[in-house]
Amino acid sequence: MSVSKTAGKAPGPKIAIMASAGAAVEWYDFFIYGTAAALVFPHLFFPADLPPFVAQIASFSTFAVGFIARPLGGMLFGHFGDMHGRKRALVVAMFLMGLSTVLIGFLPGYADVGVAAPLALVALRFIQGLAVGGQWGGAALLAIESAPAGRRGFYGSFVQVGVPLGVVLANAVFLAVSATLAEDSFMAWGWRVGFILSVVLIFIGLAVHLGVTEPAAEKSAEPGPQAGARRRSPLMEAARGHWRTILLAGGAFVANNVCFYVAITYAIAYGTTTVGLERDVVLSAVMAGSALMIPVLLLCGAASDRFGRRGIFLLGALLSGVWAFVVFPLLESGSVPAVFLAIAGQLVFVSMMYGPQAALFAELFPKSVRYSGASLGYQIGAVVGGGLAPIIATALFAEYQSSQPISVYLASMCAISFLSVLFLGRRRGGDVADQSASVAQGQIG
């Protein structure tokens, strides 16, 4: 009996921490591409005679390809994860991410192989998108489905912490390499170091996740026609029966994505190219703001267990919309403290939405289609929001020569997310939220 008690208590925290570590590995690989797309790829993978604006748009377009692939990854891995388990799907996604990231580190540039260089870059970025499209659902559900009743928001926020950890790791590598090498060496080969290092990180992540117990395996006595559910297509079931919820979940996520990727990707290009800030200053600001996200995410996840998911999420959307009109004037001031405040403020308010999000999305769908439904909602919001955000921001500034239209764009996306969360209301799939009636009441609203 003592063994079973220990086993019953240990998996929750262990899985949450391991899922966070694995998410950090995946997001490191995904975000280091974004940093390179802002600083290196416009010069390396496109013709030298392109105007800087055109090269930057082209580079951000390859960045967007990863987001276009994310819903497809969510569908593929969501179906696989609902049919065969969260852990298996997650390990496959991590392997694909590690392999594609390492290969990017070995790609020749446009000067060496011509148009084959950007085509290969797009193909590998697409694979990155497939992988990260499947990663979030697996990591989030491993943590949430192993969490004690009344702690699902807190446990789910550990997976969300993987995002700022990945940003910190990616920017730390770029800062370290650029500080060590001369500019010519950095542009020639130094940028590749961060991509190639992911081979070490991916094997660490694989070892971590291979040691995790599948939560579904611990609930084999759970009632329900499991054999029949296994024979159906979870993806089709989610699309037919929960399409409104999936679309609203996607709408809820757009503000988070737009504000986040403008802060960590477009702000780097804008700050260095338009404002004339030193690259290391902007990278350090992004890294500091991302580090600040970590405790805020955990606090907001825990608070959502006590006060409900929606209220914290809605407040984050409102504050992010207001801060959209503050962030660019602070950047344009050229003051180093103001630059740090601009990025940190944006990322803190984003954390108020992102911290409770894993639990909120999981509670919207029944367990049989939860991986598919939650992943689709998450990735639809990602492609509409994050993938297009740097391109739209770049195009708006080129058209109006002002950051004000970008602020209006950010605020508009925040309004969409605010309304989407309101319309989601008390929709939930039931078997996560209903395991404890006392927890279920007020869990979302």
Task: Please report whether residue 25 resides in a domain.
Answer: yes
Q: Give Cβ neighbours of residue 212 (< 8 Å, ≥ 6 apart).
A: 14, 15, 18, 19, 87, 142
Q: What is the pLDDT of residue 228?
A: 42
Query: Distance (Å, rounded) from C-alpha 30 to C-alpha 66?
Result: 8
Query: Distance (Å, rounded) from C-alpha 27 to C-alpha 39?
Result: 18
CA angle 293, 35, 93 (to 5 degrees): 75
Query: Distance (Å, rounded) from C-alpha 142 to C-alpha 152?
Result: 11
Query: Distance (Å, rounded) from C-alpha 221 to C-alpha 219?
Result: 5
Instruction: Return the HEC string of 292-342.
Output: HHHHHHHHHHHHHHHHCHHHHHHHHHHHHHHHHHHHHHHHHCCCHHHHHHH
Q: Does 368 score more than 70 pLDDT?
A: yes
Q: What is the pLDDT of residue 220?
A: 38
Q: What is the pLDDT of residue 145?
A: 83
pLDDT tens readout for residues 114-161: 999 999 999 999 999 898 888 888 888 888 888 888 889 999 998 899
Work out the average pLDDT over 31-40: 84
User: Which of residues 349 and 150 earns the better pLDDT score?
Assistant: 349
Task: Please report whether residue 222 resides in a domain.
Answer: no
Query: Distance (Å, rounded) from C-alpha 208 to C-alpha 21?
Result: 8
Task: Please report whether residue 26 resides in a domain.
Answer: yes
Task: Please report whether residue 2 resides in a domain.
Answer: no
Task: Please report whether residue 139 resides in a domain.
Answer: yes
pLDDT tens readout for residues 159-197: 899 889 988 888 888 888 888 988 889 888 999 998 998
The structure tokens listed for 13 are: 């925290």
Torsion of CA 2, 4, 6, 11, to 10 degrees: 180
pLDDT tens readout for residues 265-282: 889 889 998 998 988 899
Report the number of distinct structural domains present in the chain. 1
Contact 60, 288 (CB under 8 A): no
Contact 386, 410 (CB under 8 A): no
Query: Distance (Å, rounded) from C-alpha 401 to C-alpha 396?
Result: 8
- Among 308, 329, 341, residue whose Cα is nearest residue 404: 329
Q: Give Cβ neighbours of residue 341 (< 8 Å, ≥ 6 apart).
A: 330
Residues of the chain with pLDDT > 70: what percent? 86
CATH of the domain at 359: 1.20.1250.20
User: What are residue 317's phi and psi, to 5 degrees?
Assistant: -65, -40
CA angle 274, 30, 284 (to 5 degrees): 45
pLDDT tens readout for residues 200-219: 767 766 665 666 666 654 44
Task: Please report whether residue 445 resides in a domain.
Answer: no
pLDDT grade for 231, boundaries at 50, 70 and 90: very low
Query: Distance (Å, rounded) from C-alpha 400 to C-alpha 406?
Result: 10
Q: Give Cβ neighbours of residue 232 (< 8 Å, ≥ 6 apart).
A: none
pLDDT tens readout for residues 95-114: 888 899 999 999 999 999 99
Contact 326, 344 (CB under 8 A): no
Q: Give Cβ neighbours of residue 393 (< 8 Å, ≥ 6 apart).
A: 262, 266, 270, 406, 409
Count the Cβ atoms, other than its own, within 10 Å of residue 337: 10
- Residue in the block written with tokens 């579904």: 216
Contact 58, 48 (CB under 8 A): no
Task: Please report whether residue 386 resides in a domain.
Answer: yes
3-state SS class at 28: helix
- Residue in the block written with tokens 């611990």: 218
The pTM of the full predicted model, rounded to 2 decimals, is 0.80
**H helices within 333-388, ranges in order?**
336-354, 357-362, 370-382
Chain mean position to CA 65: 15
Task: Please report whether residue 398 resides in a domain.
Answer: yes
Range of the domain at 40: 11-213+233-440
CA angle 93, 59, 47 (to 5 degrees): 130
